[in-house]
Structure 1
Amino acid sequence: MAQILTFLGKGGVGRTTIAIAAARRFANRGKRVLLAIQEAGPAPGLILGIVPGAEPQELIPNLKVVQLQATVLLERSWEEVKKLEAQYLRTPFFKEVFGQELGVLPGMDSALVLNAIREYDASGQYDVIVFDGVGDQATLRMLGMPEIASWYFRRFRKVFADSDLGKALSPFIQPISSAVLNVSWTEDIFNQPMAQQANNQLEQGKQAIADPNRVAAYLITTEDAGAIATAKYLWGAAQQVGLTVGGVIVNRATGDGAESEEFEPLPISRIPIQSINDWQPLIDALPDFDQASQAPRPIAVNVAERKVSLFLPGFDKKQVKLTQYGPEITVEAGDQRHNISLPSELSGKPVTGAKFQDSFLIISF
């Protein structure tokens, strides 16, 4: 399993440059590195000095670079879908539809990129994957996709099983499936080989995002007030998907570092304006990315005290909303929702109190 690193910040603050420098640093230390670039345009190639393609290619020793092209990823994913269809269906029907015909629907590219990162991680060929995404809410929603999809899976599974429709259909599921499938399915349509495989992948994704030694993000900003405000907002939003933010990088810094108060207690790295094509000073100024686990964790559960604490920097009390409609609790902050998966000791228990203090939402049961 690889260490996955990404960067968040306003456009124009130098995320791609920092990502390349970080990848070079890991490679110089002997790590096998993949720099995965989401931007489809020519700008990354101008910085890299080569035109990245849809297949990983070597930039320097130990460092490969790939441009994640949605159309190519869609073709590959469609072939995997057809393989699964041929494995489970007696008479496949997707075989007459070709990946080269398919267009990329809005939002589909995020799922394709996330799956590509998962596959590169699972390949065992890399020690570090530096993901240069769009660095905003879209990146956070993409990284939060395993948890969100997992919630949909388990929530609708229970709703369907308890419904009259689910109870009425259950006796017919097995004979119908036997007529069209190569495998024998049970009455629970959510507990089948394909569904289990998908759910296992979602659980693995959730565990990776929750582990700062596996996945971490760093905020990139300049001394511009708008860039600082955006970085603070993304810091809080990252907590909502369970992503650890390990620190802040102030790019093109010239001032006295007064902005550091905005990001306490995160460590701050200040990078002065660098000469063009001189990577070493930039590499030397980068933080120690292995220290991301020392940053405040997005969520902490204390079963003994029956409390859950969520770290939500960048938000005030008026921007945070707590609801409990079903067996789980939902926290809304900014434009993100987080359905908190609770341990069995707290699951389904009513909330008895909540307070917002020092950027922490503390929930009592």
Structure 2
Amino acid sequence: MRILLFTGKGGVGKTTLAAATAARLAVGGRKVLVCSADPAHSLGDAYGLPLGSTPSEVDTCLYAAHVDARGLVDRSWQELRRQLHTAFAGVGLDELDAAELTVLPGVDELLALTEVARLAERGPWDVVVVDCGPTAETLRLLALPEAVAGYLRRLRGPARTVLRHSADPLGRLAEHLGRLRRLLVDPAVTSVRVVLTPERLVVAETRRTLAALALRGIRVDGLVANRLAPRASRWRGPAASWLRTRRAEQDAVLAELDASTSLPVHLVEHRAVEPVGTGRLLELAEELYGEADPLLAPFAAAEPPPLLRLRAVSDSVHELGIALPLSDSSSLELARVGDDLAITVDGVRRLVSLPVLLHRHAVTDAEANEAGLVLRFEAEAGTGAAEPGRPA
């Protein structure tokens, strides 16, 4: 079973391309579920059909659904909230604080992602295609399992005495989030396809998205540049001149993007007729994929390298490579937090556990190259924490 996530800046056409990809996969004989985790829920509009929270048949082998995050909160959160309230109150938090703490920010998105995983694991699907929200919401969504699991690990410490003789809701939730996180970072199961339009602002956001997803350990298998102006080499007149100028500008932007990433970039021209319904969506998929399988070449990007790679320079000096696709405009900060390394790229932060070998080493240098970052660690006298490191 494969999970394919489509995301991109709002308005670039990710919903249409997710719907077209799902339709193409179904025509190829796979049983496909395409679901929308985007609060805007325009997936039904792409197929020209009303959709609900229960998967419904759109065509042969093709099913679709809208993930109703608000309904999931109403149905599922109250019981968990009651259990967490008991746990928090039992460790000395007063009634008001306990109530406040159990209204976790992002719970709608977390339950939406949980529902996608449930549908993927329990249904008869060969492929689950997910129409995610705009990029910022998607990055927050994909970060939630790891972030919330981290909070729960801290909470379980003081709560263990209270929960020792009863069910441990924090433990169960942390275990569930761990499974969800493992599903997301398994490159054999889950990958992201980023949709963009060939405009400099959109491409700049796409580069930040690629770095943020790499930081989360989530595989990106390709980029789709949508809504290219058609070539008008044989046309004459003001409209043709405008189209040629616009396409030349878009080609220049795409050339810069190609030079900055090893990911395959696939092109889709702007269409005169809105692609609504499975017939027109399949025409769009034909332009995008040709004869290729949408899950294989040309979207078969190599498995991403591990985030961290350790190399011994000498007995006391080691280099730590961090595989991040950075651009000249990337905002990057590194800091040592105990035995963890806090990496912040364009406002997206993640704590990464350092290899045990480096726990008594200090960061002495850092530089960026085409593979990402390289940090130099040297053994320090004593056991004090290393100073924060930041590349120039």
Q: What is the TM-score when the length of structure 2 is the normalising length?
A: 0.72
CA distances 1:285-311 after superposition (whole Å, capped 9, x unpaired) = 335434455164461433667544333
> Does structure 2 conserve the Cα–Cα contact (< 8 Å) formed by 1:52 and 1:66?
yes
Q: CA deviation at 1:50?
A: 0.3
Deviations 1:170-221 (A, max 9, x none): 8xx2xx65xxxxx736xxxxxx743333232232223222222222112211
Q: Which amino acid aligns with 2:285?
A: I
Other structure's SS at 2:125 match = coil
Contact between 1:9 and 1:135, CA under 8 Å: does it hold in 2? yes
Alignment-derived partner of residue 15 in structure 1: 14
Q: For residues 65 and 214 of structure 1, do their structure 2 counterparts lie closer, same or farther at Cα, with a shift above 3 Å needed? A: same
Change (3 A) 1:151 1:344: farther
Change (3 A) 1:248 1:295: farther
Shift in Å at residue 147 of structure 1? 2.0
Write the mapping of 1:253-268 to structure 2, written as runs, cut at 5 A. Answer: 253-254=228-229, 255=247, 257-258=251-252, 259-263=254-258, 264-268=261-265
What residue in structure 2 maps to residue 149 of structure 1? Answer: 148
- Structure 2 equivalent of residue 131 of structure 1: 130
**In 2, distance between residues paired with 1:307 and 1:36?**
43
| CA distance in structure 1 between the aligned counterparts of 2:139 and 2:346, rounded to whole angstroms | 13
What stretches of structure 1 of length at least 5 have no aligned partner?
Answer: 89-103, 178-182, 186-191
What aligned pairs does 1:171-250 form with structure 2 within 5 A after superposition? 173=161, 177=163, 184=165, 193-250=168-225
Moved more, 257-266 or 305-314: 305-314
What code does the residue aligned with 1:309 have? Answer: G
Is 1:73–1:112's contact at 8 Å kept on the other side of the alignment?
yes
| 1:257-336 matched pairs, under 5 angstroms | 257-258=251-252, 259-263=254-258, 264-274=261-271, 275-277=273-275, 278-286=280-288, 288-290=294-296, 291-294=299-302, 296-297=304-305, 299-302=307-310, 306-316=318-328, 319-336=331-348
Q: Per the alignment, do residues 73 and 238 of structure 1 end up closer, same or farther by CA in structure 2, a change over 3 Å counting?
A: same
TM-superposed deviation, 1:229: 2.0
Contact 1:144 1:242 in 2 (8 A): no
CA distance in 2, matches of 1:317, 1:223: 18
Match of 1:362, SS state, is strand
My pick for the range that moved more, 128-137 or 75-84, is 75-84
Q: 2 CA distance for matches of 1:347 and 1:118?
A: 36
The residue type paired with residue 283 of structure 1 is: A
- Is the CA contact (8 Å cut-off) linking 1:323 and 1:330 kept in structure 2? yes
Contact 1:315 1:359 in 2 (8 A): no
Question: Given that residues 16 and 281 in structure 2 are in contact (C-alpha distance below 8 angstroms), is that contact kept between their aligned partners in structure 1?
Answer: no
8 Å Cα contact 1:68/1:113 also seen in 2? yes
Q: Residues of 2 paired with 1:318 and 1:41: CA distance?
A: 30
The whole-number CA distance in structure 1 between the counterparts of 2:347 and 2:137 is 11
Q: Is the 8 A contact 2:15 2:43 kept in 1?
A: yes
Structure 1 residues 139 and 40: alpha-carbon distance in aligned structure 2, compared to 1, 3 A threshold: closer
Identify if the C-alpha distance between structure 1 residues 117 and 253 changes in structure 2 by more than 3 Å, giving closer, same or farther: same
Write out per-residue CA displacement over residues 254-301 of structure 1, whole angstroms, 9 at most, x where no aligned residue.
336431432421111111233444223321233543445516446143
8 A Cα contact 1:34 1:129, kept in partner? yes
Amino acid at match of 1:228: V
**Which shows bigger deviation, 119-128 or 37-46?**
37-46
**Contact 1:328-1:348 at 8 Å conserved across structures:** no
Aligned match of 1:92? none
SS at match of 2:110: helix
In 2: Cα distance, 1:105 partner to 1:18 partner: 33
- Given that 2:4 and 2:129 are in contact with CA atoms closer than 8 Å, whether structure 1 keeps it comes out as yes
Structure 2 portions without partners, runs of 5+: 88-102, 230-246, 378-392
Q: Aligned letter for 2:196?
A: T
CA deviation vs aligned residue, 1:54-101 (integer Å, no higher than 9, x gap): 21111111111111122211133136638979xx9xxxxxxxxxxxxx
Q: Which moved more, 1:296-305 or 1:6-15?
A: 296-305
| Kept after mapping to 1: 8 A contact 2:110/2:141 | yes
- CA drift at 1:37: 0.9
Amino acid at match of 1:4: I
* Distance in 2 of aligned mates of 1:303 and 1:273: 47
Q: RMSD of the alignment, in Å?
A: 3.1
Equivalent in the alignment of 1:351: 363
Q: CA deviation at 1:345?
A: 4.4
Instruction: Give the letter aligned to residue 294 of structure 1.
Output: A
Name the CA distance, whole Å, in 1 between partners of 2:72 and 2:360.
Answer: 40
1:313 Cα deviation after fit: 2.8
| Larger mean Cα displacement after TM superposition, 314-323 or 8-17 | 314-323
Distance in 1 (CA, whole Å) between partners of 2:134 and 2:319 is 32
Paired residues in the alignment total: 323
Aligned counterparts of 1:204 and 1:347: Cα–Cα separation in 2: 28
Question: 1:88-127 to 2 correspondence within 5 Å?
Answer: 107-127=106-126
Task: Supply the AA of the counterpart residue of 2:216.
Answer: V
